[in-house]
Amino acid sequence: MIGGGETIRRLVDAFYKRVGAHPGLKDLFPEDLTETADKQYMFLTQFFGGPQLFSEQHGHPMLRARHMPFAITPERAKFWLGCMREAMDEIGLEGPIADYMYERFIQTAHHMVNTADQ
């Protein structure tokens, strides 16, 4: 419905361009975002109904467990969502499918929070 893997790749690229420059997020990520973006592509492909790319290569996503080593605060979740919304807008995702996707991103971002804001 969104254009398949090509659209997800464009979304991931637009997203990590923002994350890598965001002062509230960039310290959570490695300087080279290539591997991180590839994993995000595989995960989002799977998350939105495509082939199980992430699970085939890395096992069950276990998102919360994989993110526990990092301080994910409500503020950082908000920043993350802002980057995702901007990326979605940049690549032209709109309408009911974009609304659905963003709602899923909101749920996931809130689920990842593991540390209070300071």
CA angle 106, 6, 84 (to 5 degrees): 25
pLDDT 10s digits, 64-84? 999 999 999 999 999 999 999
Q: What is the CATH number of domain 4-112?
A: 1.10.490.10
Instruction: Give pLDDT tens digits for 24-46.
Output: 999 999 999 999 999 999 999 99
Kindly tell me if the per-residue pLDDT of 118 is higher than 90: no
Using only C-alpha atoms, the chain has a radius of gyration, in whole angstroms, of 14
Mean pLDDT, range 86-103, rounded to an integer: 97
Share above pLDDT 90 across residues of the chain, in percent, rounded to a whole number: 94
Residues annotated as binding site for heme? 110
Amino acid code (one letter) for 94: E
- How high is the pLDDT of residue 1? 81
Residues annotated within a binding site: 110
- Number of other residues whose CB lies within 10 A of the CB of residue 12: 23
For the whole prediction, is pTM greater than 0.85? yes
* CB-based contact 80:88 (threshold 8 Å): no
